[in-house]
Amino acid sequence: MSECDLVIVGSIGLDTIKTPSETRELLLGGSASYACAAASFFCKNGMVGVVGDDFPEEYLEWYRGFSVDLQGLQQKEGRTFFWSGEYEENMDNRQTLETVLGVFESFEPVLPEAYRSAPYVFLGNMAPALQLHVLEQMENPKLVLADTMDLWINIARDELTQVISKVGMLTLNESEARLYTGCDNLVEAAHALLELGPEHILIKKGENGSMLFSRNGKRFIQPAFPLPQVTDPTGAGDTFAGALMGYLAQEASTDEAAIRRAMLHGSVVASFEVEAFSLERLRSLSESDLKDRVEELREMMRVD
């Protein structure tokens, strides 16, 4: 029996973020950070990633506060992955100001023995070769969700295609779906991706929610929770994916209905995450707050 129901592999970083109203330095970031925190509301999860010797002990305590299993967290001599970005007035478009790979440049994910039989796996956005390396270490997981980005589509397409053929679900945004497939129409793009092997394609649409396309021909549209103000949208996609996989692990199901409920819960957790910088809002999020907003969004979606 695995110690973790869900294994999450991805980047761990220190971010400096500038928004139209505020600048914050050396915040806890990275795909693994957001996904693990989000998943922790639903299941026991283990983190696989790497940090440098400059990584603050305070942030390790944050992980422990979410009850994230840290057996798979490596600490190496050198600098932790660093990203700096600036958001435009609309809080949707952003510009990368600086990226320092640090110890993440030589990262080789090694899964602890206890993680290898986990039934659910989230492969965060990283080089497809690393995602394949993780898959080689897993023992027949029930569902693997992989994320990617335009960089890997452009420079590692063949390896990315291998990843897509080996996972149950692929998530990417609209522009990435169009870039990979060459299809302007998202329905055509999703069908082209499904032909490569996954059972499900999950296309992220930012503030417009997400779309699920399944091999069985079914489709589902999940709206985002409408907010009066967004403080920091960094990590929203990873939060959504982490909560989605955490919910599926909790339910121990991958059927269509469970995935739709998982998308609903993912949207809600992500809506809380963007209300503050880094993981600050998730650290104060209560189960009752989460439950209430799930019911509120469910009511918004209801059709009599």
Structure tokens belonging to residue 117 = 């039989």
Cα torsion 194, 196, 197, 201: sign: negative
Structure tokens belonging to residue 66 = 């979410």
Q: How far apart are CA 148 and CA 176, in angstroms?
A: 8
pLDDT tens track, the chain, 304 positions: 357 999 999 999 999 999 999 999 999 999 999 999 999 999 999 999 999 999 999 999 999 999 999 999 999 999 999 999 999 998 878 999 999 999 999 999 999 999 999 999 999 999 999 999 999 999 999 999 999 999 999 999 999 999 999 999 999 999 999 999 999 999 999 999 999 999 999 999 988 999 999 999 999 999 999 999 999 999 999 999 999 999 999 999 999 999 999 999 999 999 999 999 999 999 999 999 999 999 999 999 999 8
Q: How far apart are CA 233 and CA 6, in angstroms?
A: 24
Cα torsion 17, 18, 24, 25: sign: positive
Q: How far apart are CA 277 and CA 262, in angstroms?
A: 24
CB 195 within 8 A of CB 164: no
Q: What is the tally of helices (H) and strands (E) in the chain? A: 11, 13
- Going along the chain from its start, the domains and CATH numbers come out as 6-301 (3.40.1190.20)
State the pLDDT at residue 1.
39
Q: How far apart are CA 126 and CA 152, in angstroms?
A: 8
State the pLDDT at residue 266.
98
CB 111 within 8 A of CB 72: yes
> Considering just the CA atoms, what is the radius of gyration of the chain in Å?
18
- In three-state secondary structure terms, 118 is coil
Please classify residue 275 by burial: count the beta carbons closer than 10 Å to its beta carbon, then call 0-12 exposed, 13-18 middle and 19+ buried.
Answer: middle
